[in-house]
Structure 1
Amino acid sequence: MEKEPIIALDFPTWKEAEQFLVPFQNEQLYVKVGMELYLQNGPFIIEQLKKMNHRIFLDLKLHDIPNTVGQAMKGLAALDVDIINVHAAGGVEMMKKARAGLDAGAKGGKRPILLAVTQLTSTSEAAMHADQLISVPLQESVLHYAKKAKEAGCDGVVCSVLEAASIREACGEDFYKVTPGIRLKDGNADDQQRIADPAEARKIGSTMIVVGRPITKAADPVAAYHQVKALWGGQA
């Protein structure tokens, strides 16, 4: 499995993202393009990142009726990104349609890894109860979504590090556990609720980690990236 941290390019414009990437020009990165960057700039962003030979997680969290998500995925597959995702709350049929759309639109038969978002790492158990009227414990909700994602043909889920071990036990070692909410020990939690540092993520069983502000907002982003990479790879 990958041992490169995925950097969240949470910028509003390509100019800002490009400026951030300049010091990394001699490295091939794994980057995440979310709604902020993609919806304001479109496929141009993906084209530019691919020219730089970076691998791409297109984080759009699609959630709509099954047919709409299936058709959207068929079109997005042509972008030839490495990972893409949906919201598990959309249901099994929607996730099945997402998988079918990717299969139909994939270039050369190679489709992106399909992930399903369980509960956002900014969501606390209290907020889940109050806002979503889900009465079970948050861990149980995440595990339920993971099982449904596997049933639907997804390759894995987006979850917090805190749920990675139980998902591995229920869904298998090869089922991806991609974990945002990664923070360094001396850093701020920001708006995240369920967090861990890269070393904890490695020990608990994350497959891949997503790191944003601890790198993008660091005084020296390159140094911060290599610190995260060393912790994630077990070299620090």
Structure 2
Amino acid sequence: MNPIYLALDLPRLDAAIALAQKVKGHVGGLKLGLEFFCAHGHHGVHEVAKVGLPLFLDLKLHDIPNTVAGAMQSIHVLEPAIVTVHASGGRAMMEDAKAAAGEHCRVVAVTVLTSLDDADLAATGVGGSSHDQVLRLADLAAEAGLDGIVCSGQEVGEVHRRWKNGFFVVPGLRPAEAANGALGGDQKRTVTPRQARDAGASVLVIGRPISRAEDPVTAARAIEGTL
């Protein structure tokens, strides 16, 4: 299986579908985030599904357990391969999310966003390092019966050692030739796709290095060639 999921968070649906069609031979799936879902809803997801690749709905659900369970049930018809919830929503919320998910849908918990570092966590009242917080939330997600977590490539190796059969989604990836921040300064804890894969990542979420490349097909093929 090709582990690359293209982050297809473009404002125009036609542009998103056109990009997906171009690179579908070099990626294993498509990630649709909150921006896409809010702009295009179920209709947009159905249209992208016609490309024929597995879909990852990165909605980062975070609410009381009953509300999150209802949201999970409402997206059954979209048949996503992966859906995200926030681990910080707590064990009961994660348990209900998994119970409400479709039979073939992996539910994974977002631990610490790759846009955050230790100083950002401290400002929100979270003590310790981002690494420690990821491990705490990964343990909680495993106890809740989720399929896996979302974390940065800097943590995935240790999480994989602790959770042998977990499913690990790693975003914030940058090819070796791209300087950190050159393709988006909001990512602070980045590694290369190869480093993440070697450390135990199941899915590699890659967006701007492909979507904003002069030639997206060449960029996707180049990244695929490093794995």
* CA distance in 2 between partners of 1:227 and 1:39 (Å): 31
* Alignment deviations for residues 47-85 of structure 1 (CA, whole Å, 9 cap, x no partner): 112222111000000000010001111111221111001
Output aligned runs, 1:131-142, within 5 Å: 132-142=124-134
Pick from 111, 114, 139: which aligns with 1:121?
A: 114
2:38 paired residue number: 39
Question: Does the 8 A contact of 2:26 with 2:220 survive in 1?
Answer: no
Q: Normalising by structure 2, what TM-score? A: 0.93
Shift of the 141–54 alpha-carbon distance from structure 1 to 2, 3 Å rule, reads same
1:168 paired residue number: 160
* Alignment deviations for residues 77-123 of structure 1 (CA, whole Å, 9 cap, x no partner): 22111100100000000001101111xxx3xxx33111000000111
* Alignment deviations for residues 136-157 of structure 1 (CA, whole Å, 9 cap, x no partner): 1111100000010011111000
Q: Normalising by structure 1, what TM-score? A: 0.90
Structure 2 counterpart of 1:220, one-letter code: D
Output aligned runs, 1:25-174, within 5 Å: 29-102=28-101, 106=102, 110-130=103-123, 132-172=124-164, 174=165
Structure 1 counterpart of 2:166, one-letter code: F
Shift of the 27–213 alpha-carbon distance from structure 1 to 2, 3 Å rule, reads closer
* CA distance in 2 between partners of 1:114 and 1:23 (Å): 28
Gaps of 5+ in 1: none
* CA distance in 2 between partners of 1:163 and 1:39 (Å): 30
Shift of residue 25 of structure 1? Answer: 6.1
Is the aligned partner of 1:211 residue 2:206?
yes
Structure 1 counterpart of 2:194, one-letter code: A
Shift of the 180–26 alpha-carbon distance from structure 1 to 2, 3 Å rule, reads closer
Question: Does the 8 A contact of 2:24 with 2:53 survive in 1?
Answer: no
Deviating above 6 A after TM superposition, structure 1's stretches of 4 or more consecutive aligned residues are none
RMSD: 1.5
Pick from 150, 157, 168: which aligns with 1:177?
A: 168
Shift of residue 176 of structure 1? Answer: 1.1
Shift of the 28–125 alpha-carbon distance from structure 1 to 2, 3 Å rule, reads closer
Q: Mean alpha-carbon deviation: is it higher for 12-21 or for 211-220?
A: 12-21
Three-state SS of the structure 2 residue aligned to 1:215 is helix
* CA distance in 1 between partners of 2:92 and 2:157 (Å): 26
Pick from 197, 203, 209: which aligns with 1:202?
A: 197
* CA distance in 2 between partners of 1:27 and 1:140 (Å): 34
1:186 paired residue number: 177
Shift of residue 213 of structure 1? Answer: 0.3
